[in-house]
Amino acid sequence: MKDFNTIISLLNLAGLSGVGFFIYYLFKGLKERIGNLSKLAEEQRQTLDVVRERAIEVDKLSKYYKQTLEDFQDMGTKLEKRRNELIEELENVSKRKDEKLENWYRRLVIPSKCP
């Protein structure tokens, strides 16, 4: 009976050792998995930071291009307005010149017709 108890005790000890090894490797695997997930989370955080920076840069460029486009449109409007002003001014100058020439011609032609 003593041998039987010793055998049972050895089997229990072997079974507990097996459970112990199982738990050890289970925790070791979980620790490794948690470490890998932590690395993955850190890499994703860094990637997200880079994406945020790029989004901010793209937003700044977008604002810059929009402002430049508005400036060009404003410049086009100002140039159109100035062109119309110059055309009007040139037409007025041309009319005054024509009037002066007509007056000058009248002064020359009308006195010569009178005896």
Transcribe 20-67 into DSSP letters.
HHHHHHHHHHHHHHHHHHHHHHHHHHHHHHHHHHHHHHHHHHHHHHHH
Report if residue 20 sits inside a domain.
yes
Q: Which domain holds residue 3?
A: 1-83
Res 103: pLDDT: 86
Which structure tokens are listed for 110?
A: 């009308």
pTM of this structure = 0.48
Report if residue 67 sits inside a domain.
yes
Report if residue 110 sits inside a domain.
no
Res 62: pLDDT: 94
Q: Over 70: is that where the pLDDT of 11 sits?
A: no
Query: In 3-state terms, what secondary structure has residue 109?
Result: helix
What total of structural domains would you count in the chain? 1
Report if residue 90 sits inside a domain.
no
